[in-house]
Each structure stands twice: as structure tokens, then as C-alpha cells.
Amino acid sequence: MRNFASDNYATALPEALEAIAAANHGPAVSYGADEWTARLQDRVREHFGADATAFPVFNGTGANVTGLRAMLKPWQGVICAEGAHLNVDEGAAPEVLGGIKLLTVPTPDGKLTPELAGRRMVRIGDEHASQPGVVSVTQSTELGTLYTPAELAAIGEFAHAHDMLFHIDGSRLANAGASLDVPLRVITTDVGADVVSFGGTKIGLVLGEAVIVLRPDLADPLRYLRKQSMQLASKMRFISAQLDALLSDDLWRRAAGHANAMARRLAEAVENVDGVTLTQAVQANGVFAILPPGAAERLQEDFHFYFWDEHTREVRWMCAWDTREEDVDAFAEAIAEIVGASSMRPI
Ligand SMILES: Cc1ncc(COP(=O)(O)O)c(C=O)c1O
């Protein structure tokens, strides 16, 4: 299979499998009271600062819902981009399991700004309206774009100035850190984030993410909410060991840097092909494009990828830590050939 569908299609990093094998010796205390989870806490403090606590969980939806539950009072809602994973790809889990009202804002590039978030700062104090309690952004975004540290800091300041908390869905935080060439704390702790969903699976773990709590007063509630949200792993050592490996020796940066480089390679190879319109800046590991009618379907006979928007016919091409240069080159060649042929067809 030639995969440009998702970083979730990718194989697991050898280091993740080795970490699981290395942790597979003898009994260990369950539910996180094990030495691998303790080591992970040290590692997380190195990357995110002395106040950080990691809560390993199974998946990204669980990380988001669990983290947000700890941040909100029952009458509060979350300001987020309309296209946020939270809003469009979590099967209404925030609404159904968390009872969370999402206060969405349309954005052209997946990014919120204080000005856009401000559009949902209405009816404050009105008991008939859900009150904004959290601003949530995705870094890197669902559209493969990035927030700069200054843009994140502006949103963090905006949230705190209005008595809200700041949440980052970092399902692809590694891709953002690698692309911006900054330590992870520069786009989380240093910009005022209160809770971060830190992604492991998309960047190469077998499975495993972590809710990183940066406000110590939220850590205790999170313990109970993780269990209640069905995200407390009994054999946690196997998730913690992988996250520890990802955060060691710059593995996260190498894996994400490669995925990003492959997306850039693909974008550069096709951006000047007549008939290919790239619809978003390529800043992480995704490329978004619109092709002439029929071309995407022809390409899908040999390559796996998804339509992102059924109405505009926009497609999404994702790269992963294991995407090979030759796969990118073969895909780019096929795009040029098929799009070239379809642009020459009489209309
Ligand atoms: C931005 C974003 N957040 C969170 C997730 C987590 O999803 P899952 O629950 O499938 O791990 C994803 C996965 O596609 C994502 O793209």
C-alpha cells in the first residue's frame, strides 16, 4: 500500500517497539504506579517545565475530552475552530461524554486568533448562554498549518485576560516543534497553555498519548476524570515506556522532521503542475490540494488518500515518519501524469 492517507496508517517506530519489549520483564504495579511512568514524569518535566504532569491515555479523543473536562465548569463551553478535530472528528464525544458545548468559529486556515475567538465572547454573564471557559487550538492544525510561538502567546493572553483557560490539541505537536525548530515548551508552557494533549500515535507509537497538565491545581481532578473517561490504562507501563522513548534523544524531532520533510518534498514537486492547486501553506506533514475533476479518483486507484472536503473536492495527502522519498517521488510523478492528462481533455 502506498500511503498518503494518514499518519495513523504508519508503522510503529522501532524505538517504540523496543521500549515495549524492554518494559516486558516481570510484574509491575498497575494503573501508573510503575517505574516507567515515574521516569516519564521526569522526562515530561524536562520538556514542559517543573510544573508539568503527564497523564498517559489511549488516544487523542480521550486526551482532549479528559483534559477539557478538567478545565471546565458544567455551564462553560470551549471556543475552537470550526474545523477542529474536537468539533468534526470526535463523533460528538466532547458533547456526549463530556457534556461540553463547543463554541466554534470559521477559520480559513484552521487557525484561531484572539480576534476570531473574541467573536464568541458574547452574552457574558447571561445565564441563558453557555459561558466561554476555554480556548482550544490545534498545533499543528488539522490543515497542516502552524501557529508561531507569538501567535500562541497572543491567544493564551487573550484567554487568561478573559478568565478562560488555554488548551492545545497537540496530536501533532511534534510536527509543529520540529517544523518551527523549537523545544516543545516554547509552544506550550511558554505561551501560557494550561493543558496540552500530547500526541504519540501519529508520530510513531503503537498507541499512546498524554494529557500534559501545566496548572498544578488541575492535576488532582484529572486523576479522577481520566478513570471516569475510560482512559486509565491498567498496564500503563507499556504506554509510558513508549512516550518516554519518544521524548528521549530527540526521537520526536527526528520522526516528525522526516514526516514534515516528505510533505514539503511532495508539495514542491507538484506545486507548479498545471491543474494542481495547493490550498494551504505546507508547514507540517500534510498537503491539501484541489485537482481537476476525476484526477483524484484516478490517483486513488494506486495511492491511498482521502477527500477532505466533499463539496470543494479538496484532498488531503499526509506523510508520516516512515514515508519514503521514493514513494513521494512516485506519487508526484503520478499526480503530474494524471493531472496533465485530465487538463488536456476537451471540456
Ligand atoms: C488534530 C487531532 N486531534 C486529535 C486526534 C486524535 O484522534 P484519535 O482519538 O483517533 O487518536 C486526531 C486524529 O486524527 C487529530 O488529527
pLDDT digit string, tens, across residues 203-236: 999 999 999 999 999 999 999 999 999 999 999 9
Determine the 3-state secondary structure of 222 from DSSP: helix
- Taking the CA atoms of residue 32, residue 34, residue 36 and residue 41 in that order, the dihedral angle to the nearest 10 degrees is 60
pTM here?
A: 0.97
At residue 341, the pLDDT reads: 82
At residue 111, the pLDDT reads: 98
At residue 110, the pLDDT reads: 97
Determine the 3-state secondary structure of 200 from DSSP: coil
Nearest to 238 by CA among 268, 196, 208: 208
pLDDT digit string, tens, across residues 7-50: 999 999 999 999 999 999 999 999 999 999 999 999 999 999 99
> Per-residue pLDDT for 103 more than 90?
yes
> Per-residue pLDDT for 342 more than 80?
no
Mean pLDDT of the chain: 97
Q: How far is the CA of 56 from the centre of ligand 1 (A)?
A: 15
Question: 89-101: buried (b, 16+ CB within 10 Å) or exposed (e) per residue?
Answer: ebeebbeebbebb
Q: Which of 6, 7, 61, 145 to mutate to test the pocket of ligand 1 (most atoms within 8 A of CB)?
A: 61
Minimum mean pLDDT range among 87-91, 121-125, 181-185, 341-345 = 341-345
pLDDT digit string, tens, across residues 285-340: 999 999 999 999 999 999 999 999 999 999 999 999 999 999 999 999 999 999 98
Nearest to 75 by CA among 134, 124, 118, 129: 129
61 touches ligand 1 (CB under 6 Å): yes
Q: Rounded CA gap, 87 and 34, in Å?
A: 35
Q: How far is the CA of 32 from the centre of ligand 1 (A)?
A: 23
Q: At what angle do helices 237-246 and 251-270 cross, to 10 degrees?
A: 60
% of the chain at pLDDT higher than 70: 99
The residue to which cell 507538484 is assigned: 270
pLDDT digit string, tens, across residues 269-294: 999 999 999 999 999 999 999 999 99
Q: Sorting pLDDT into bands at 50, 70 and 90, what band is 79?
A: very high
Q: Rounded CA gap, 232 and 212, in Å?
A: 14
pLDDT digit string, tens, across residues 146-193: 999 999 999 999 999 999 999 999 999 999 999 999 999 999 999 999
Return the residue whose CA atom lies nearest to atom 10 of ligand 1.
Answer: 60
Task: Looking at the CA of residue 90, tell me the nearest atom of ligand 1.
Answer: 9
Residue 217 has a CB neighbour count (10 Å cut-off) of 9
Task: Looking at the CA of residue 64, tell me the nearest atom of ligand 1.
Answer: 4
At residue 1, the pLDDT reads: 82
Q: Which of 58, 141, 171, 196 to mutate to test the pocket of ligand 1 (most atoms within 8 A of CB)?
A: 171
Q: How far is the CA of 273 from the centre of ligand 1 (A)?
A: 31
Q: Rounded CA gap, 71 and 221, in Å?
A: 9
Q: Rounded CA gap, 243 and 281, in Å?
A: 29
Task: Looking at the CA of residue 58, tell me the nearest atom of ligand 1.
Answer: 11
At residue 344, the pLDDT reads: 57
Question: 161: exposed, middle or buried (C-beta count within 10 Å: 0-12, 13-18, 19+)?
Answer: exposed
Task: Looking at the CA of residue 62, tell me the nearest atom of ligand 1.
Answer: 9
Residue 174: its H or E element: helix 173-180
Return the residue whose CA atom lies nearest to atom 8 of ligand 1.
Answer: 60
Q: Rounded CA gap, 203 and 188, in Å?
A: 18
136 touches ligand 1 (CB under 6 Å): no
59 touches ligand 1 (CB under 6 Å): yes
175 touches ligand 1 (CB under 6 Å): no
* Cβ(58)–Cβ(201) below 8 Å: no
pLDDT digit string, tens, across residues 245-258: 999 999 999 999 99
